[in-house]
Chains A and B, each alone.
Chain A
């Protein structure tokens, strides 16, 4: 058992109060992330939506990792271990996006993937390797139309 006496607050009761304060801050941030996007959508401010939805999530994650998981007083090696995981995700996105985010090629086009009654547009014409791949799942869509 290790004690995290290095944290900013000294004394055990101080610890508990510190945790409750962090929790309260997290709840406030939660409210920001719920109402911020509503305001943003209302006025059409795209930047505010991104900042309140994802910016706040990053801040919240940082606060949980620092204060609850005590990542700030962990040994550097733990930071490196976590960094490996995060870096691999960045690498994965960087390398895969070029392929996976591509919607169409020479002889193929991806469908939007709607199979519900609110579908507004018909799926795109299939061709190439996409052809005939709609199995039983395709029937759902036809029933709805």
Chain B
């Protein structure tokens, strides 16, 4: 069902309403992730000895996950290109690939966490591990949220409906990718 109001179709700023809203959403997301990351960075700088705990993270799994997210971002931007051409079914297929990327990311993550928890590195094992699980957990929550929205967008895009949403959900997905780009060195590389 469509509840398009006249207001939604206006563009006093000269840009689509949905995209403007996504940028505002991202602004609020920057400060949410910023709150976690700034707290983490301050604690890392105050506690050089946390590097000992960080040494136990698996760089290769982190790097693989970065690759997975970068590739899913590529799919999302290709979906946007397809949607601009008006090719809804193609955009939809590419969005499903993006969702698959998100799913792969979460599966790798869950294997990684299971292994770490079995090793005894639980969320209570130390300050670093608390931040590790919290920052990655908040990020994973955003991955899941993005995937849910993307399922919805992909289904309507397959029917050539609401193609502008492909770009909007893509911008959000790239942002989630971008956050991971910073989380990767912060959690895995800095040892």
Is B truly associated with A? yes
Assess the A113–B67 pair: CB atoms within 8 A.
no
A49 CA to B189 CA, complexed, in Å: 9
Assess the A85–B27 pair: CB atoms within 8 A.
yes
Q: Which label, helix, strand, loop or mixed, suits the secondary structure of the B interface? A: helix
Assess the A37–B53 pair: CB atoms within 8 A.
no
Assess the A81–B126 pair: CB atoms within 8 A.
no
A77 CA to B11 CA, complexed, in Å: 14
Contact for B16 among A1, A100, A116, CB less than 8 A: A1
Nearest Cβ on chain B to A10's Cβ, whole angstroms = 13
Contacts of A133 in B (CB 8 A): none
| Nearest neighbor of B60 in chain A, beta-carbon distance | A34
Contacts of A89 in B (CB 8 A): 30-31, 34, 37-38
B42 on interface, CB distance cutoff 8 Å: yes
Given the known inter-chain contacts A68-B76, A102-B46, A116-B125, please indicate yes or no for A75 contacting B171, CB distance below 8 A.
no
Nearest Cβ on chain A to B55's Cβ, whole angstroms = 9
A125 on interface, CB distance cutoff 8 Å: no
A84 CA to B85 CA, complexed, in Å: 33
* Residue interface bits B120-152, CB-to-A below 8 A is 1, else 0: 110011111000000000000000000000000
Assess the B124–A30 pair: CB atoms within 8 A.
no
Contact for A112 among B13, B16, B47, CB less than 8 A: B47
B114 on interface, CB distance cutoff 8 Å: no
Assess the A82–B46 pair: CB atoms within 8 A.
no
Within 8 A of A (CB), among B154-191: 163-164, 167, 170-171, 174-175, 177-178, 181-182, 184-185, 189-191
Chain B contact residues, CB within 8 Å of chain A: 13-16, 19-20, 23-24, 26-31, 34-35, 37-39, 41-43, 45-47, 49-50, 52-53, 56, 59, 63, 66-67, 70-71, 73-74, 76-78, 81, 83-85, 120-121, 124-128, 163-164, 167, 170-171, 174-175, 177-178, 181-182, 184-185, 189-191
19 chain-A/chain-B pairs, Cβ below 8 angstroms? A1-B164, A12-B85, A19-B77, A49-B190, A54-B185, A57-B182, A57-B185, A64-B73, A69-B175, A74-B23, A84-B27, A85-B26, A100-B43, A100-B46, A103-B46, A114-B53, A115-B125, A116-B53, A137-B124
Chain A contact residues, CB within 8 Å of chain B: 1-4, 12, 15-16, 19-20, 23, 26-27, 30, 33-34, 37, 41, 49, 53-54, 56-57, 60-61, 64-65, 67-70, 74-75, 77-78, 81-82, 84-86, 88-89, 92-93, 96-97, 100-103, 110, 112-118, 120-121, 137, 140
